[in-house]
Amino acid sequence: MIDIEQLKYPIGKFQKPSVITTDDLRNATEEIKSLPKFIESTVKNFTEKQLNTPYRPGGWTVRQVVHHCADSHMNALIRFKLALTEENPRIKPYDEAAWANLPDYNLPIEISIGMLKNIHFKWLRILEEMRPKDFDKTYFHPESQKNVPLDEVTLMYAWHGKHHLAHIQSLMIQENW
| Residues of the chain where predicted confidence (pLDDT) is lower than 70 | 1
Predicted pLDDT of residue 4: 86
Predicted pLDDT of residue 21: 97
Q: Nearest-CA neighbor of 8 among 154, 171, 158, 141? A: 171
d(CA 133, CA 83): 12
- Class of the CATH-defined domain 38-43+60-175: mainly alpha
Q: What residue spans define the domains of the chain? A: 38-43+60-175
Q: Nearest-CA neighbor of 76 among 175, 157, 166? A: 157
Residues with Cβ within 8 Å of 29's Cβ and at least 6 positions away in sequence, in order, are 124, 127, 128, 154, 158
Q: Which helix (H) or strand (E) holds 120?
A: helix 109-129
Q: List strand residue ranges (DSSP E) for 21-154, in order.
A: 138-141, 146-149
Predicted pLDDT of residue 74: 98
What are 29-49's pLDDT values in tens digits?
999 999 999 999 999 999 999
Predicted pLDDT of residue 132: 96
For residue 30, give the amino acid letter.
E
| Strand partners for 67 | none
